Amino acid sequence: METILLPTDFSPTAKNAAMYALKLAEQLGVKKLVLYHSYEIPITIDPLTPGVQMLDLETSKESSAQALENFEMKIRAFANNITIERINEYGALAEGLDDVCAKVNAGLIVMGITGGGALEEKLIGSNTISVAKHTKVPVIIVPSKVQFTRIESIMLTSDFDKADKTIPVGVVRKIVEETKAQLHVLHMEETDDEYGVTYPSNVMGESYALYSLLEDLNPEYHFSRNRSFVEACNEFVIAKGIDLVINVSKKHGFFERLFKESHTKMLAFHSSVPLMVINGQE
């Protein structure tokens, strides 16, 4: 991996994510961090002038560039042998990130996220969640109060559903090998069965498929019967000293259910460690 991309809105949460990205770059041997800001033309309403006024595009571009430069100055002292570059472009954030990643050869996106009430989370986290759900490049979401700790233990969540077809094993293998971390696989048992904590028969085939794919990484497998996905993940993070959670986003899977508006405890907002989101292959 040559480059990490850091989309920023210049907030304290974004600065925290930048500090995390710099430390992660050191662990992974990444030599470049690209700061990225996408801007749109702000709309203002002048009480003295009927109608809506749009500010000048060039003014917005210059403002974005200046803010990006100021943001770099705040983190530059912490960039040990890591080159920092800046890109600012007009447009919606989530729509252009794949192209930006291809342009700068970024293999990973790091973004911050801020927790709060349900409405606040929906508004503040919208860009981060949108990026995580739609970009092809893996995204690490860094909670606002989480500081970097060296990644030595990784948890992959899996429902074992078509694991051999939906989990981008190459991406999982890459992060595990580059961090040299121990891999744990956590499966949520969604229904009661007579087997208790043993392998339930309805996932035997799927679990074996995943086992075959990850065998060379020597993962440890764990099962939880906790009905709450968020609680189960956080309990396991504490119990096993997990430094990074990996969740594979796929249609109608755990991630889709996780981010429905009716959920008040969303893992990305309430995790005590960063969450890496990888889009599935289906």
> What is the DSSP-derived secondary structure letter of residue 80?
T
- Listed in sequence order, the residues at least 6 apart from 149 whose beta carbon sits closer than 8 Å to its beta carbon are 243
Q: Match domain 3-143 to its CATH number in 2.40.170.20, 3.30.300.10, 3.40.50.620, 3.40.50.1100.
A: 3.40.50.620
- Taking the whole predicted model, whether its pTM rises above 0.75 is answered as yes
**134 near 94, Cβ under 8 Å?**
yes
The domain spans of the chain are 3-143, 153-279
Give me the pLDDT at residue 129, please: 77
Do residues 243 and 150 make contact, with C-beta atoms less than 8 angstroms apart? Answer: yes
For 156-203, write each residue's pLDDT tens digit. Answer: 987 655 555 567 788 899 999 999 999 998 887 655 555 454 444 444
> What pLDDT is attached to residue 260?
45
250-279 per-position pLDDT tens digit: 655 554 554 443 332 355 666 779 999 888
Mean pLDDT value across residues 52-77: 84
What average pLDDT does the structure give for the chain?
78
The pLDDT assigned to 202 comes to: 44
CATH match for 153-279 among 3.40.1050.10, 3.40.50.970, 3.40.50.620, 3.30.1360.10: 3.40.50.620
